[in-house]
C-alpha cells in the first residue's frame, strides 16, 4: 500500500502482505492474492487507524486498559459494551459507506483482521468475529463496530496472554476490518495444502459442505473430506458424509444467514467431484507457492462453478512430514525366527539408517562369538543376523541354528560352569567392564579434525562393536539379578516372613547404584544453584546460567554420568553432548519440586536395615545363614545390574563426536544440510561421500526421516513370522514388549511396582520431550534407561511399552515408591497425551478415566485400536507349524532350566 496514504479505508487490491500493521493479517494476505490475480472477491479494508480513531474519539481506551489489566478475560463483556455503545465518528462512517457504494452496494461479508492474526507463529484463528450477508448501511456500520469489539472477546484476551502477544493493556493492538462482496456460494469449505495431521507436504486435505463456509469453519456441519496427492495429481481417499444441514444467506430482507435442512437428494451426494477436488488442490498449491509456505485456505464454489478464495493463512504448528504407518510385517529372510528381545529392548524406535548398517555387523558378530565360545563350534554368518523389518530391529536365528543351539544346551550349561569367573556379576566386574573401558579410553583424546572420513567411520564402527560386546556380557548379569532376587524372595516368604513383617522388597531397596548417584549429583547441582540466586533465576527462566563455577560443576557431572543412554541408536544424543533434558529437571528442582534423593535413599536404607535386623534376629542359625547369603547375593546382583546398564554408553559420546565430524564436513560441502543428517545416510553412502563424491543427499535424508516418522507410529510384533494367537499369548510373559495386539479401553501390562494413582498421562517419545513432564504427571514412554532416572523424581507413576519386573523402570520406580505398569506393548500409542488415567501397579493396568474401566469382553484378538495400527498385515499372517513352536517353547524351557541349574551349583 502507498505509504503516503492517510485514508482510513482502502481498496483490498491496494494491499500487500507487508501491510499487516495497517490492515491485519487476513486483509494483507487477501490483498496480496487479489493483486496477483487469484479469484478473491473484491472489497475494501477499514484500516487499523480507523480503529484507533474510534477508540480515541469515544475516549474508551483508558477504561479498556483498566478493565483488562484488572480482570483479564472476565472483563470481556464490559469492554465490548463500551464499543457497542459508542458512535462511529461521522467522517469515518461516511468513508465506510462510500467505499461500499463504490463496490456497488452488494451484500457483503464483514470480517475482522487483527494485527496478531494469520501469522506463521500463531494464527489467532477464530478469535474475532465475522458477519455475513450484510445488506444495509446501518447493518454495515454495526458489523464494523462489532468486529472492533471482538478484539476483546474472552478467548481473544486469553489467547494473546498465553502467546505473549500483548501486555493486557492493548497499546500494541489494533484491528482492521475486511469488507468483501459475498460469494454466491452453493458449497464451501477449507483446504489445507499440507496434511495438518501427518505433516505430509504432498497431501492436500479438503473439507466441503453445502452452503456457506462459515458453518464449516465453526464445526457446525458435518463435512465431506477429500485427500489429494498433489505430486501425482490424484484423489487418494474421500469420505462422503450425511450432510443434514447447511447455512444459507438471506435470513431476512436485511440480510443475515439461516440454517436449513439439506435437500434429500444432496445429503449423501459428494459436494466435490474428483475433478473439482483436483482443481481446488491445484489452486491451493499455487497460493502456497505465491505465499511461500503451506496454507490453510477458506474457499467457496459459486453457483456458476467458479472457485473463490475467502481467506488464506499459514498453517501453524504443522508437524514434520510423516510417512504411512506400516501394516505389512513380511520378513525379508525366510527359514528362521525374528525376536524383539535382549539388545532390542534398548532400541524401541525404528533404527536410523547408519546405525542399522553398523549394528547389522556389530551386534550379530558379538553374539556369534559368544555362541561359538559356549557351544565350542563356529556359527555361520547366515545363522544369526540383526535385520530390520519396517525399520525395527530384530534378532534373526535360522531354524538350523536354533535347533543346534537347543541340542547343545547341556554343553552351554557346562561352559557356564567352567567360565563362571568370566560371566555373571563377577565376570562383569573383573573382565567385561575393565576391558570395555580400556577399549574406549584409547579414543577420546584423538583430534577428530585430524582424522580422515575413513578413520572416523572405522573408529565409530570399532567402538560400537566394543559396546555390543560389552552389552552381550552384561546380559549375563541380568539373569543373575533375576534369579537371585527370585530365590531370596521365595526363601524369605517361605522360611522367615510372618504376619506383619515387611515385604521382601523392603530388604532390597535403598541400595547404591550409578543411576541413583547420577540423580544425587544433579540434585547437588540444583542445591548449589539455590545458594547462588543469579544461577537459580536463570534456570527458572529456562536459560543456561553464566556462572563459570556452575558450568564447571555441570561439566564434572557430565564427565561422570553424561554417557547414559536414552536408546542405543547413536543418532539420539546423550546428556554429554545435549544436556537440555537435565536442565529441564534442574529447573524443576530449583522451583522446589522433587524429593532430596540423598534423604530418600537414607530413609530406604534405614527401613532396609531395620527390617533385616528384625527378621534375621529371630531366625535359627541355619535359616539365618541361608537368608543372609541369598539377601547379599540379591542386593549385589541388583545394584550390579544397574551399574552395568548405566555404562553401556561409555563409547557413545565419542562415536557421536566422530560421526558428527563427518557430518559437519559433508554439510560444509553441500552433501547434506546439517551435521546430524549423517545418521540418516547408509554406510556405503557415507563411504562414497567421504571419498570425495559430492552428490547432494539432502532430499534422500528428508525422505528417510519422513518414512521413519511413519514407522515410529507402528507397533512392531514381538515375534515374526507372527505365530498363532494361542502361541503368541502363551509367550507374552517371556517377551519384553507385552502383547501388542491387545484391545479395549484398559491398557494391560506387568505390575512391577505397587500402588494406585490417578494423574495426567504425559507421553514422552524421547529426551527432547522431557521438559513437558510436569510434577505429578504419569511418565509414559516406550522404555526407560538409566538416563531417564532424573524424570522419576517428577513422576507419580511410570508406564512403558517395553520392560518387566526386573527392568530399570521397575527397580527405579520401586526405589521412588511410585506405581509402575511395564511391558504393555501399546501404552505410547493407546494413551493420549494430557488425558487423565488411573495407574494400578498391583493389577498391572492403566485405565483412561473417560472409559468405564471394565473389560470390554474382547479376548485380545482382532480389531484395530483407534490410535494404533494393529500389526500383522495379510501377508504377515503365515501360520507357523505346531512343530516349530514346540521347538521354540522347548528351547526356552531348556535355557531357563540350564540357568537355574548353574545358579544352584554356584550356591553350593
Q: What is the per-residue DSSP string for 92-113? A: HHHHHHHHHHHTTS--EEEEEE
Report residue 21 as a C-alpha cell: 500493521
Q: 432 or 116, which is more confident?
A: 432
pLDDT in tens, 850-889: 644 343 333 333 333 333 332 333 333 333 333 333 334 4
Q: 722 or 98, which is more confident?
A: 98
pLDDT in tens, 174-219: 899 999 999 989 999 999 999 988 888 889 999 999 999 877 776 6
Q: Which backbone phi and psi does 114 adopt, to 5 degrees?
A: -85, 155
pLDDT in tens, 292-334: 999 999 999 999 999 999 999 998 778 888 888 899 999 998 8
pLDDT in tens, 604-644: 899 899 989 988 888 899 999 999 999 999 999 888 988 99
Q: What is the pLDDT of residue 663?
A: 97
The mean per-residue pLDDT over the stretch 225-253 comes to 92
The mean per-residue pLDDT over the stretch 361-389 comes to 84
pLDDT in tens, 483-532: 888 899 899 988 888 888 888 888 888 888 898 899 999 999 999 999 99
**Coil, strand or helix at 295:** strand
Q: What is the pLDDT of residue 439?
A: 95
State what percent of residues in the chain have pLDDT above 90. 51
The mean per-residue pLDDT over the stretch 150-175 comes to 70
| Spatial distance between the Cα atoms of 666 and 660, rounded to a whole number of angstroms | 10
Q: Are 853 and 846 in contact (CB under 8 A)?
A: no
| Spatial distance between the Cα atoms of 365 and 469, rounded to a whole number of angstroms | 8
Report residue 769 as a C-alpha cell: 520431550
User: Of how many residues is the chain composed?
Assistant: 908
Q: What is the DSSP letter of 237?
A: E
| Spatial distance between the Cα atoms of 660 and 685, rounded to a whole number of angstroms | 15
| Spatial distance between the Cα atoms of 221 and 211, rounded to a whole number of angstroms | 10
The mean per-residue pLDDT over the stretch 385-393 comes to 95
Strands 175-181 and 108-114: antiparallel
Q: Are 30 and 40 in contact (CB under 8 A)?
A: yes
Q: What is the pLDDT of residue 498?
A: 86
Please check the confidence at residue 794 and state whether its pLDDT lies above 50: yes
**Coil, strand or helix at 454:** helix
Sign of the four-CA dihedral 712, 714, 720, 726 = positive
Q: 602 or 890, which is more confident?
A: 602
Q: What is the pLDDT of residue 399?
A: 84
Query: How many C-beta atoms lie closer than 10 Å to residue 328's C-beta?
Result: 12
Mean pLDDT highest for which of 215-219, 247-251, 466-470, 901-905? Answer: 466-470
Q: Are 535 and 526 in contact (CB under 8 A)?
A: no
**Coil, strand or helix at 234:** strand
Q: What is the pLDDT of residue 730?
A: 53
Query: Chain centroid to CA 177: how far?
Result: 39
The mean per-residue pLDDT over the stretch 15-33 comes to 92
Mean pLDDT highest for which of 141-145, 170-174, 594-598? Answer: 141-145
Report residue 537 as a C-alpha cell: 533465576
Per the prediction, the chain carries an average pLDDT of 85
284 conformational bin, left if phi > 0, alpha if psi -120 to 50, beta if neither: alpha
Please check the confidence at residue 143 and state whether its pLDDT lies above 90: yes
Own/partner pairs for 19-22, CB < 8 Å, 24+ apart? 20/115, 20/119, 21/48, 21/115, 22/47, 22/48, 22/49, 22/176
Closest listed residue to residue 757, CA positions, set 780, 779, 778, 732: 778
In Å, the largest CA–CA distance within the chain is 107
Please check the confidence at residue 106 and state whether its pLDDT lies above 60: yes
Q: What is the pLDDT of residue 737?
A: 54
**Coil, strand or helix at 389:** strand
Provide Rg for the chain, Cα atoms: 33
Question: Which residues are CB-contacts of 245 (< 8 A; sequence separation ≥ 6)?
Answer: 215, 220, 221, 259, 260, 261, 262
The mean per-residue pLDDT over the stretch 145-157 comes to 89
Closest listed residue to residue 385, CA positions, set 339, 354, 329: 339
Half-sphere exposure of 626 (CA within 13 A, CB side): 15
Task: Tell me the H-state helices in 566-697.
Answer: 580-590, 597-617, 621-646, 652-668, 683-690
Q: Which backbone phi and psi does 663 adopt, to 5 degrees?
A: -60, -40
Q: What is the pLDDT of residue 367?
A: 86
Q: 428 or 806, which is more confident?
A: 428
| Spatial distance between the Cα atoms of 342 and 471, rounded to a whole number of angstroms | 9
Count of H helices and E strands in the chain?
31, 27
The mean per-residue pLDDT over the stretch 59-72 comes to 89
| Spatial distance between the Cα atoms of 138 and 110, rounded to a whole number of angstroms | 13
Task: Tell me the H-state helices in 219-352.
Answer: 264-267, 274-291
Q: What is the pLDDT of residue 739?
A: 59
Provide the angle, in degrees to the nearest 10, between the axes of the packed helices 90-102 and 137-149.
120
Closest listed residue to residue 208, CA positions, set 184, 182, 187, 230: 187
Q: What angle do CA 347, 350, 353 make, to 5 degrees?
A: 105
| Spatial distance between the Cα atoms of 236 and 614, rounded to a whole number of angstroms | 71
pLDDT tier for residue 824 given thresholds of 50, 70 and 90: confident
Which CA distances in Å does 216 have to 131, 159, 246, 677, 681? Answer: 15, 22, 9, 41, 44
Closest listed residue to residue 778, CA positions, set 838, 850, 867: 838
Closest listed residue to residue 761, CA positions, set 684, 870, 820, 839: 839
Judge residue 883's burial from the number of C-beta atoms within 10 Å of its C-beta, 0-12 exposed, 13-18 middle, 19 or more buried.
Answer: exposed
Report residue 122 as a C-alpha cell: 500463531
Q: 850 or 680, which is more confident?
A: 680
Please check the confidence at residue 120 and state whether its pLDDT lies above 70: no
For residue 205, list its beta bridge partners: 192, 227
Please check the confidence at residue 235 and state whether its pLDDT lies above 80: yes
Transcribe 629-653 into DSSP letters: HHHHHHHHHHHHHHHHHHTGGGGHH
The mean per-residue pLDDT over the stretch 813-828 comes to 86
Q: What is the pLDDT of residue 163?
A: 60
**Coil, strand or helix at 567:** coil
pLDDT in tens, 46-59: 999 999 999 999 99
Please check the confidence at residue 237 and state whether its pLDDT lies above 60: yes
The C-alpha cell 517428577 sits at 794
Closest listed residue to residue 615, CA positions, set 510, 503, 753, 511: 503
State what percent of residues in the chain have pLDDT above 70. 86
pTM for the model:
0.74
pLDDT tier for residue 900 given thresholds of 50, 70 and 90: very low
Q: What is the pLDDT of residue 593?
A: 87
pLDDT tier for residue 669 given thresholds of 50, 70 and 90: very high
Q: What is the pLDDT of residue 870?
A: 29
Amino acid at each position: 500500500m502507498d505509504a503516503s496514504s492517510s485514508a482510513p479505508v482502502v481498496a483490498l487490491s491496494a494491499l500487500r502482505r507487508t501491510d499487516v500493521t495497517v490492515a491485519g493479517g487476513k486483509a494483507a494476505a487477501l490483498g496480496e492474492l487479489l493483486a496477483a490475480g487469484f479469484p478473491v472477491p473484491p472489497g475494501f479494508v477499514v484500516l487499523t487507524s480507523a480503529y484507533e480513531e474510534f477508540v480515541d474519539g469515544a475516549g474508551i481506551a483508558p477504561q479498556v486498559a483498566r478493565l483488562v489489566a484488572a480482570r483479564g478475560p472476565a472483563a470481556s463483556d464490559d469492554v465490548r459494551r463500551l464499543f457497542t455503545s459508542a458512535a462511529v465518528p461521522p467522517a469515518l462512517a461516511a468513508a465506510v459507506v462510500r467505499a461500499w457504494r463504490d463496490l456497488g452496494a452488494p451484500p457483503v461479508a464483514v470480517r475482522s483482521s487483527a494485527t496478531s492474526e494469520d501469522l506463521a507463529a500463531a494464527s489467532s484463528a477464530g478469535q474475532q468475529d465475522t458477519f455475513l450477508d450484510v445488506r444495509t448501511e446501518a447493518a454495515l456500520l454495526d458489523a464494523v463496530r462489532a468486529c472492533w469489539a471482538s478484539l476483546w472477546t474472552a478467548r481473544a484476551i486469553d489467547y494473546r496472554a498465553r502467546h505473549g502477544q500483548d501486555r493486557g493493556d492493548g497499546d500494541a493492538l489494533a484491528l482492521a476490518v475486511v469488507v468483501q462482496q459475498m460469494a454466491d456460494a452453493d458449497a464451501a469449505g477449507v483446504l489445507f495444502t499440507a496434511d495438518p495431521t501427518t505433516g505430509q507436504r504432498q497431501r492436500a486435505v479438503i473439507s466441503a459442505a453445502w452452503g456457506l463456509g462459515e458453518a464449516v469453519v465453526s464445526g457446525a456441519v458435518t463435512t465431506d473430506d477429500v485427500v489429494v496427492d498433489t505430486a501425482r495429481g490424484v484423489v487418494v481417499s474421500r469420505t462422503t458424509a450425511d450432510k443434514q444441514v447447511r447455512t444459507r444467506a438471506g435470513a431476512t430482507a436485511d440480510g443475515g444467514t439461516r440454517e436449513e435442512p439439506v435437500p434429500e437428494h444432496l445429503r449423501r451426494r459428494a459436494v466435490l467431484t474428483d475433478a473439482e477436488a483436483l482443481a481446488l488442490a491445484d489452486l491451493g498449491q499455487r497460493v502456497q507457492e505465491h505465499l511461500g509456505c503451506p496454507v490453510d485456505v477458506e474457499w467457496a464454489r459459486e453457483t456458476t462453478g467458479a472457485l473463490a478464495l475467502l481467506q488464506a493463512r499459514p498453517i501453524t504448528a504443522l508437524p514434520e512430514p510423516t510417512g504411512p504407518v506400516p501394516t505389512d510385517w513380511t520378513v525379508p529372510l525366510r527359514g528362521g525366527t525374528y525376536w524383539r528381545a535382549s539388545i532390542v529392548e534398548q532400541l524401541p524406535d525404528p533404527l536410523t539408517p547408519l546405525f542399522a548398517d553398523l549394528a547389522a555387523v556389530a551386534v550379530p558378530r558379538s553374539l556369534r562369538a559368544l555362541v561359538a565360545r559356549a557351544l565350542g563350534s563356529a556359527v555361520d554368518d547366515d545363522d544369526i543376523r540383526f535385520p530390520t523389518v519396517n525399520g525395527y530391529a530384530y534378532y534373526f536365528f535360522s531354524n538350523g541354528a536354533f535347533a543346534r543351539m537347543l541340542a547343545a544346551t547341556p554343553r552351554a550349561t557346562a561352559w557356564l560352569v567352567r567360565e563362571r569367573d568370566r560371566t555373571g556379576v563377577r565376570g562383569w566386574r573383573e573382565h567385561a567392564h575393565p576391558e570395555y573401558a580400556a577399549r574406549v579410553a584409547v579414543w577420546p583424546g584423538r583430534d577428530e579434525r585430524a582424522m580422515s572420513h575413513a578413520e572416523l567411520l572405522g573408529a565409530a564402527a570399532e567402538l560400537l562393536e566394543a559396546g555390543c560386546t560389552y552389552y552381550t556380557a552384561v546380559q549375563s548379569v541380568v539373569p543373575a539379578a533375576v534369579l537371585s532376587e527370585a530365590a531370596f524372595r521365595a526363601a524369605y516368604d517361605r522360611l522367615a516372613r510372618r504376619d506383619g513383617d515387611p515385604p521382601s522388597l523392603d530388604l532390597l531397596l535403598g541400595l547404591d547404584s550409578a543411576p541413583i548417584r547420577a540423580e544425587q549429583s544433579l540434585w547437588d547441582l540444583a542445591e548449589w544453584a539455590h545458594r547462588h540466586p543469579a544461577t537459580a533465576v536463570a534456570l527458572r527462566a529456562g536459560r543456561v546460567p553464566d556462572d563459570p563455577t556452575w558450568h564447571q560443576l555441570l561439566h564434572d557431572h557430565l564427565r561422570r554420568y553424561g554417557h547414559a543412554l536414552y536408546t542405543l541408536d547413536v543418532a539420539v544424543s546423550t546428556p554429554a553432548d545435549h544436556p537440555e533434558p537435565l536442565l529441564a529437571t534442574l529447573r524443576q528442582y530449583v522451583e522446589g519440586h522433587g524429593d532430596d534423593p540423598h534423604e530418600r535413599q537414607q530413609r530406604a536404607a534405614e527401613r532396609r536395615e531395620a527390617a533385616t535386623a528384625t527378621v534375621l534376629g529371630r531366625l535359627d542359625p541355619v535359616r539365618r545363614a541361608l537368608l543372609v547369603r541369598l539377601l547379599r547375593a540379591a542386593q549385589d546382583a541388583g545394584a550390579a545390574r544397574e551399574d552395568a546398564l548405566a555404562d553401556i554408553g561409555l563409547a557413545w559420546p565419542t562415536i557421536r563426536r566422530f560421526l558428527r565430524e563427518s557430518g559437519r564436513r559433508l554439510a560444509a560441502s553441500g552433501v547434506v544440510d546439517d551435521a546430524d543428517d549423517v545418521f540418516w545416510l547408509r554406510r556405503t553412502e557415507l563411504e562414497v561421500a567421504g571419498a570425495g563424491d559430492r552428490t547432494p543427499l539432502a532430499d534422500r535424508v528428508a525422505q528417510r526421516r519422513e518414512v521413519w516418522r511413519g514407522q515410529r507410529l507402528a507397533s512392531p510384533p514381538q515375534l515374526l513370522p507372527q505365530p498363532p494367537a494361542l502361541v503368541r499369548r502363551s509367550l507374552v510373559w517371556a517377551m519384553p514388549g507385552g502383547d501388542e495386539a491387545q484391545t479395549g479401553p484398559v491398557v494391560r501390562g506387568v505390575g512391577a511396582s505397587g500402588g494406585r494413582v490417578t494423574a495426567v498421562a504425559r507421553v514422552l517419545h524421547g529426551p527432547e520431550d522431557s521438559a513437558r513432564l510436569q510434577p505429578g504427571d504419569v511418565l509414559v514412554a516406550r522404555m526407560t534407561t538409566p538416563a531417564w532416572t532424573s524424570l522419576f523424581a517428577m513422576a507419580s507413576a511410570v508406564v512403558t511399552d517395553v520392560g518387566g519386573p526386573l527392568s530399570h523402570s521397575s527397580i527405579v520406580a520401586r526405589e521412588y515408591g511410585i506405581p509402575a505398569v511395564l511391558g504393555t506393548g501399546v501404552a505410547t500409542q493407546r494413551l493420549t497425551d494430557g488425558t487423565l488415567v488411573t495407574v494400578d501397579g498391583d493389577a498391572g493396568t492403566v485405565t483412561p478415566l473417560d472409559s468405564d474401566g471394565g473389560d470390554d469382553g474382547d479376548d485380545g484378538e482382532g480389531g484395530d485400536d483407534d490410535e494404533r495400527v494393529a500389526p500383522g498385515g495379510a501377508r504377515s499372517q503365515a501360520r507357523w507349524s505346531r512343530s516349530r513352536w514346540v521347538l521354540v517353547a522347548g528351547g526356552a524351557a531348556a535355557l531357563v532350566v540350564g540357568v537355574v541349574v548353574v545358579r544352584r551349583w554356584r550356591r553350593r
